């Protein structure tokens, strides 16, 4: 079964995850970084068409294969789009050997108690049913921790696990992403608090459930190593969080058992005006650098 092969790849394969899930709020910034100004489109439809073309250019590049890229996290519109005549999830798995995931959150609430919970996700069950039919293996959802607030972090983790259980009930693998902001005034303290809360949540999971975790690279190397060894955790992946690729890779190489799930650090050197050969070469270099930091540890 495809799902069993995908699960084995997610759990065991060496490599990293590509985060190609910029949402409506972050798409203008992603396009600007790519070399497409806001004056190049006049509405959301045109904007999403441009970002889809960028993503298709990435996933069809020669280096974007399961050899180094384990999985790719998609925005909903990307899931619904096509690449070389196939639905993107099918293209990724059948043509590239890359496991498709879907971003399901609808953005963040205003900060309260030092954290930003996820906004409600209306129609989540319907979306999960549709994603399953399209061949999506798992999901991702992000919330943000700004301060070392015990009650705030507990609320973040509770919300992540509750939604994770809902996602798991559809046979999908949830990636829980309680991001600690790299600008937090007590980042290491917040990470220690988060570790304790995540451990409690994982210990309470039934044997039938497992999750992935997407976490900010910690200030204390190997802080999250116990999570990588937890029986309910399929994989722990790291977000780049605003660090440059060089910095993120250096930090990641110090954390055993943790692999990358980078977005900006993967694509920020790619530009729309590049020739195909220049684009492919630039992406291949980024993929190799991130792969090395994921599999070769200091």
Catalytic residue among 68, 140, 177, 289: 177
Contact at 8 Å (CB) between 263 and 242?
no
Residue 86, Cα to own-chain centre: how many angstroms?
23
* Angstrom distance (rounded) from CA 44 to CA 23: 11
Q: Which two tokens stand for residue 243?
A: 């660090």
Question: Closest Cα partner for 137 from 235, 262, 59, 259?
Answer: 235
> How far, in Å, are 42, 54, 195, 232 from residue 269 at the CA level?
25, 13, 33, 36
Contact at 8 Å (CB) between 90 and 132?
no
Burial code (b: 16+ CB inside 10 Å, e: under 16) for 114-133 equals bbbbbeebeebeebbeebee
* Angstrom distance (rounded) from CA 21 to CA 263: 8
* Angstrom distance (rounded) from CA 285 to CA 226: 31
Classify residue 22 by burial, with Cβ atoms within 10 Å: 0-12, 13-18, 19+.
Answer: buried
Asked about 214 being catalytic, the answer comes back as: yes
Catalytic residue among 140, 191, 214, 289: 214
Burial code (b: 16+ CB inside 10 Å, e: under 16) for 260-297 equals bbbbbbbbbebeeebeeeebbebbeebbebbbebbeee
Question: Closest Cα partner for 266 from 287, 249, 247?
Answer: 287
Residues labelled as active-site residues: 177, 214
């Amino acid at each position: 079964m495809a799902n069993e092969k995908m699960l084995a790849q997610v759990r065991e394969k060496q490599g990293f995850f590509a985060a190609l899930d910029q949402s409506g709020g972050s798409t203008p910034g992603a396009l600007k970084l790519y070399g497409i100004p806001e004056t190049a489109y006049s509405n959301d439809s045109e904007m999403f068409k441009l970002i889809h073309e960028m993503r298709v250019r990435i996933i069809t590049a020669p280096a974007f294969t399961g050899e180094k890229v384990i999985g790719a996290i998609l925005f909903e519109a990307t899931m619904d789009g096509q690449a070389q005549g196939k639905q993107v999830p099918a293209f990724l798995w059948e043509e590239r050997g890359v496991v498709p995931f879907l971003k399901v959150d609808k953005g963040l609430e205003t900060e309260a108690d030092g954290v930003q919970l996820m906004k409600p996700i209306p129609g989540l069950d319907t979306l999960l049913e549709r994603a399953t039919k399209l061949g999506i293996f798992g999901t991702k959802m992000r919330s943000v921790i700004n301060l070392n607030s015990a009650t705030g972090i507990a609320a973040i983790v509770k919300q992540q696990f509750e939604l994770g259980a809902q996602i798991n009930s559809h046979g999908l693998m949830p990636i829980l992403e309680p991001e600690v902001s790299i600008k937090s005034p007590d980042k290491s303290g917040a990470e220690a608090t988060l570790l304790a809360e995540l451990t409690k949540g994982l210990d309470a999971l039934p044997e039938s459930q497992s999750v992935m975790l997407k976490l900010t690279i910690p200030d204390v190397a190997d802080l999250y190593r116990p999570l990588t060894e937890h029986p309910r955790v399929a994989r722990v992946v790291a977000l780049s969080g605003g660090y440059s690729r060089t910095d993120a890779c250096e930090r990641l190489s110090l954390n055993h058992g943790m692999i990358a799930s980078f977005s900006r650090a993967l694509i920020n050197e790619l530009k729309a005006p590049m020739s195909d050969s220049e684009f492919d070469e630039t992406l291949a270099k980024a993929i190799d650098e991130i792969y090395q930091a994921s599999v070769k540890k200091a």
